[in-house]
Amino acid sequence: MVKRIVYFEKPGKENTGACLDVVKTALNEESYRHVVVATTTGANGLLFSDTFKKSGLNIVIITHSAGFKGPNTLEMPGETGEKIRANGAKIYTGTILTHSLETSLNAKSGGMYPAMIIAQALRRFGEGAKVCCEIVMMAADAGLVPEDEEVIAVAGTGYGADTVMVLKSAASKRFLDLKVLEILAKPRT
């Protein structure tokens, strides 16, 4: 099998349009049924849900947890969430699997804990690759995508999208069953 991978010169939101094109191409070439997209402010979620709103795809938008940037805060405005849902997409706002508890422990006592080690290992492929793995497990944990399915995941470095991957889904309880099947796009740096 020969597949095309798109490499971006730099990470960042300027690659979002190209990532959308990569997803469109993948959907034309294969019969994927699930697309999971990371979003912070909702911009990626709105773009992808609007683009695929009449496709029959299961579009799942994953946001940061409440309180991620500070107590009692949500980064995605409510009206953006309403538009995403109106497009037929599902939204999951929850804890990032490799972040919250261990980051809190590390801040208080120092040291690295297993989830942080996993996060650092995944970052060797790029921040977006780490997030793609996390959001697919989060979506499976929430019952928004079935386990053991091929899922397109879209994420980025900071804001926007710069990484597209195909993963075999697994719930976080079965992390070792999660498989990266294809990297369709990512930054080189």
Domains of the chain: 6-187 (3.40.1380.20)
Mean pLDDT of 106-123: 79
pLDDT at residue 104 tops 80: no
Place of tokens 């798109």: 6
- 0.85 surpassed by pTM: yes
Distance CA 64, CA 51 (A): 22
The yes-or-no verdict on residue 131 having pLDDT over 80 is yes
Pairing label, strands 58-63, 179-187: unpaired
pLDDT, position 72: 82
Q: What's the mean pLDDT in 14-26?
A: 98
More confident residue, 43 or 66: 43
How far apart are alpha carbons 18 and 37 in whole angstroms?
A: 14
What's residue 100's pLDDT?
59
Under 8 Å between Cβ of 21 and 51: no
